[in-house]
Structure 1
């Protein structure tokens, strides 16, 4: 993530936490605070304008938009693959509710995707992610047992990616994602508290370790009004 994106996310966090009320500091002051150039600050403010969090008044400065900011709205980058937990600010309370956790034999599609034999097992996980007491997304995850040994309910209630990197010492690499719009199914309606007419943002992902070994097939089903994905041109 670029520096101006980091700065934009930090300013957004401060707006949500009410550390900035009504108006942002001058661009020169922000540049000094973040030890960067005014040009970088301008890029960061443009991101916040696109998110409709702020607006500029010529000759008067940059004001925080009057429209209330949902405390449970979360924006993350399409290219970011460091786990959902890392994208929640300290001001937001993330809870992972485990709906189901099983170990089973892989399907033919999963054997091909992970290059597994018939005798190897996979974890089959469904989790509901809850932010500030509001349901955000349903996650359906399949992972080979032999590549992520020791997964248990305690880890699932926290962060799988943190366990992989910090406990197992394995670096997480790239991923492949397919992002589509979908109609809600029965689980979406039940767990995400949405109606049959609400659209669902569906993200299917295949994730790899840094050495190129695939370790995750997942599908996350997101409420349309409580999150977003930012696409940045490289």
Structure 2
């Protein structure tokens, strides 16, 4: 994660916790606080603005668009059924909620992971999984449009892997995974109902087709009491 992304996440966490109310501190003050340049703080502000968390106002101030983002988003999701897909899993019901779905230019890190050119488009997908109405997983998925064309919200609400296999007639290959334990970030607090210092099990992976072309760069985040991994020794 880049410096400005780390700062944006920390600012968002402070907004949710109520440390920042109504307006953010001025950029020069935040640059001093985070021991960085105003350019870096400006990039962090742009990221928060793109997420519709803040908006600039006259007089060089920055307005916080909601003082209670976490509660607003969780309550609004809990009170509506539109946007959720239901599946059965064992004795429980899994709901899949598409938080965001868009196409954009990839970052440098994504270009490297997916072997893309800087002007290739990618799908940017964020989904929330609930088990028996309890938030269980938060999934960030990046896929190259030129490798997996034609993805729609309808496909996301059904089976994206089924679409890749049955409609695009592509076969899956290996996956490289990195497993870490991290503190919760702002989105974990929103969509996994994490507290500020709750640990999160994070699985980052790059998935390949059987021809060794990478087709997915993803991160799955599980609250500490809602996720586990079983790893088998191949020997």
Q: TM-score range by the shorter chain?
A: 0.5 to 0.7
Structure 2: tracts of 5 or more residues without a match: 1-86
**Residues 96 and 158, structure 1, Cα contact 8 Å, conserved in 2:** no
2:138 matches 1:130: no
Q: Which residue of structure 1 lines up, in the alignment, with residue 142 of structure 2?
A: 142
SS in 1 for 2:154: helix
Q: Which residue of structure 1 lines up, in the alignment, with residue 186 of structure 2?
A: 186
**Relative contact order, CA 8 A, sep 6+: which one is greater?**
1
Q: Deviations over 1:145-204 (max 9, x none)?
A: 011111111121232212211222211111011000000011101110121232100011
Q: How does 1:5-84 map to 2 (within 5 A)?
A: none
Q: Which of the two has higher C-alpha Rg? A: 1
Q: Which residue of structure 1 lines up, in the alignment, with residue 169 of structure 2?
A: 169
Aligned alpha-carbon RMSD (Å): 1.9
Q: Which residue of structure 2 lines up, in the alignment, with residue 109 of structure 1?
A: 109
Deviating 4+ runs (over 4 angstroms): none
Q: Which residue of structure 1 lines up, in the alignment, with residue 152 of structure 2?
A: 152
Q: Which segment is superposed worse, 112-121 or 180-189?
A: 112-121
CA distance in 1, matches of 2:196, 2:110: 30
Q: TM-score, normalised by structure 2?
A: 0.60
Question: CA 1:91/1:165 → structure 2, altered by over 3 Å: closer, same or farther?
Answer: farther
Question: CA 1:114/1:136 → structure 2, altered by over 3 Å: closer, same or farther?
Answer: same
Q: Deviations over 1:17-62 (max 9, x none)?
A: xxxxxxxxxxxxxxxxxxxxxxxxxxxxxxxxxxxxxxxxxxxxxx
Shift of 1:115: 2.0
**Residues 189 and 196, structure 1, Cα contact 8 Å, conserved in 2:** yes
Q: Which residue of structure 2 lines up, in the alignment, with residue 225 of structure 1?
A: 225
CA distance in 2, matches of 1:129, 1:186: 17
SS in 2 for 1:228: coil
